[in-house]
Chains A and B, each alone.
Chain A
């Protein structure tokens, strides 16, 4: 019988570049969208279907740390300005997935009735590696 150890976000980390940004990240998601290829036929089968390409997106919601020159807002901003990709290592309960994502500018908002936070959705470029047991030691937390 399969067994599992339940875990929460406290057993997860997100490293971008060489910095562990867990201290500012409230949540992150690595989500796949797989296109379905279909072709209607006149025979009894009706529709032929197959899996198409898969697009991965890394979504991150985090506290706005714009005042920190080495913070996540500035890291993404600088990378987006130069049309760069960012390397990321995401871990879930000791298992890690690594990849590159196309950097995007984080949304900057101000709201009198809430603490400033932001989010960004970045498409993954190239193949992901993992899940494999985590080997990367997180850099000093911000």
Chain B
């Protein structure tokens, strides 16, 4: 398994174990509140010397809540942000959260309120 794939999957598992529904990638069916990991920019950076491949992985954690009334959605999103930050392990560095935006998912799924959290972590060849 690729290093970045493993990093995303382990992070999603860890958050889910701590009560924050998380997916290693954007799932087909969105069931907010939830978190989905996406590639950041730059995605992967070679970070250490030596023959073993070690990389810095930049991820974006897209945190989504259902669109209720304006205040309720924002409060729910803020709670999700806090929950994600508390659940992150110490070797995952969180830098900033984007301004929330409304994203329409289509007729079947409605709309969600989304904020993106920028994350940096490390992965190593096994």
A-to-B contact residues, CB < 8 Å? 8-14, 20, 22-28, 113-115, 141
Contacts and interface: CB of A to CB of B under 8 A. Distances in A.
B95 A113 contact: yes
A119 B28 CA distance: 45
A43 B47 CA distance: 55
A contact patch SS: mixed
Given A23-B124, A115-B120, A12 B50 contact: yes
Interface of B: 46-54, 93, 95, 120, 124
B47 A10 contact: no
23 contacts: A8-B46, A9-B46, A9-B48, A9-B49, A9-B50, A10-B46, A10-B49, A10-B50, A13-B51, A22-B51, A22-B52, A23-B52, A24-B48, A25-B49, A25-B50, A26-B47, A26-B48, A26-B49, A113-B95, A114-B93, A115-B93, A115-B120, A141-B50
Given A23-B54, A23-B124, A115-B120, A14 B49 contact: yes
Nearest to B120: A115
B95 A22 contact: no
A10 B54 CA distance: 9
Contacts, number: 43
Nearest to A14: B49
A10 B124 CA distance: 13
Contacts of B46: 8-10
A27 B46 CA distance: 11
A69 B50 CA distance: 22
Contacts of A9: 46, 48-50
Nearest to A12: B49
A58 to B, nearest CB: 14
Given A10-B46, A28-B49, 18 more contacts: A8-B46, A9-B49, A10-B51, A10-B53, A11-B51, A13-B49, A13-B51, A14-B49, A20-B50, A23-B50, A23-B52, A23-B54, A23-B124, A26-B48, A114-B93, A115-B93, A115-B120, A141-B52
B64 to A, nearest CB: 25
A13 B50 contact: yes
A22 B125 CA distance: 13
B95 A23 contact: no
Contacts of B124: 23
